[in-house]
């Protein structure tokens, strides 16, 4: 006699609920990526019962509010070649774990100062066999100090981490020339940008690209701000630099 399925295997895969919206944005998931995203959501649901990773609790809500949101990064033009990324204040691995799943060739460093959250990140990386992920339980300032003389990163990501006046100097100190910052923000991003002092922009070449999107009809829009680090600009975080 075949035993009844348990409550987990009986439930539909949450990733199926977002596939149509992904296709509408020309974002494609292969079988392995879809399975890994489902497994990641299961880990988020399980650990959320013990530590506060996200406000969302149910799998479908986690997939809709967080995984789908992070997958909007797949609509951007990545710097070439894209070999390494650092995700600041990674928290629940959003977007760092999602990027690692989507790009197994990408070396992803997750920076998280919280012991509980960094423990989660290490555990989920092992559970999903993400050999391209490194977890650092450190303050961002310490990571910046270690990388001041190099090597630096080609991509910095941040979501629900810090205001732009804090994030921009940190990203400028971690990116190599030509690298990108992908900052995921909400509806008040313009207020944040207005509060950024001029010296915090010293490392970047020009104004950010602004990529707005909505996840569902009537939903509040999200935005991804993309800055490129200049090739000759002075590092405002370096000794003797501006700021």
pLDDT at 241 over 60: no
Higher-confidence position of 70 and 57: 70
**pLDDT tens, position by position, 169-217:** 999 999 999 999 999 999 999 999 999 999 999 999 999 999 999 998 8
> The tokens of 42 are what?
């299961």
Give SS3 for 139: coil
Q: Is 191 exposed, middle or buried (0-12, 13-18, 19+ CB in 10 A)?
A: exposed
In percent, the amount of the chain with pLDDT more than 70 equals 90
**pLDDT tens, position by position, 127-165:** 999 999 999 999 999 999 998 887 899 999 999 999 999
Q: pLDDT band for 50, please (50, 70, 90 cuts).
A: confident
Sequence ranges of the domains in the chain: 77-228
Q: Is domain 77-228 in CATH 3.40.50.150, yes or no? A: yes
CA torsion, ordered 126, 130, 136, 137, to nearest 10 deg: -40
């Amino acid at each position: 006699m075949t035993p009844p399925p348990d409550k987990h295997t009986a439930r539909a895969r949450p990733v199926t609920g977002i596939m149509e919206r992904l296709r509408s944005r020309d974002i494609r998931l292969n079988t392995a990526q879809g399975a890994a995203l489902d497994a990641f959501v299961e880990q988020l649901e399980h650990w959320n019962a013990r530590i506060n990773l996200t406000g969302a609790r149910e799998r479908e809500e986690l997939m809709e509010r967080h995984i789908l949101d992070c997958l909007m990064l797949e609509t951007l033009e990545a710097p070439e070649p894209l070999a390494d990324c650092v995700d600041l204040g990674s928290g629940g691995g959003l977007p760092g774990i999602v990027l690692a799943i989507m790009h197994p060739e990408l070396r992803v460093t997750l920076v998280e100062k919280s012991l509980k959250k960094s423990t989660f990140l290490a555990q989920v990386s092992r559970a999903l066999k993400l050999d391209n992920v490194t977890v650092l339980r450190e303050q961002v300032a310490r990571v910046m100090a270690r990388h001041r003389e190099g090597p630096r990163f080609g991509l910095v990501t941040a979501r629900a981490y810090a205001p732009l006046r804090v994030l921009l100097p940190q990203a400028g100190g971690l990116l190599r020339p030509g690298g990108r910052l992908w900052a995921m923000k909400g509806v008040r991003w313009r207020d944040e940008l207005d509060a950024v002092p001029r010296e915090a922009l010293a490392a970047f070449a020009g104004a950010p690209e602004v990529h707005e999107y909505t996840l569902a009809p009537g939903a509040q829009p999200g935005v991804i701000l993309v800055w490129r680090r200049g090739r000759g600009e002075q590092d405002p975080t370096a000794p003797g630099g501006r700021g």
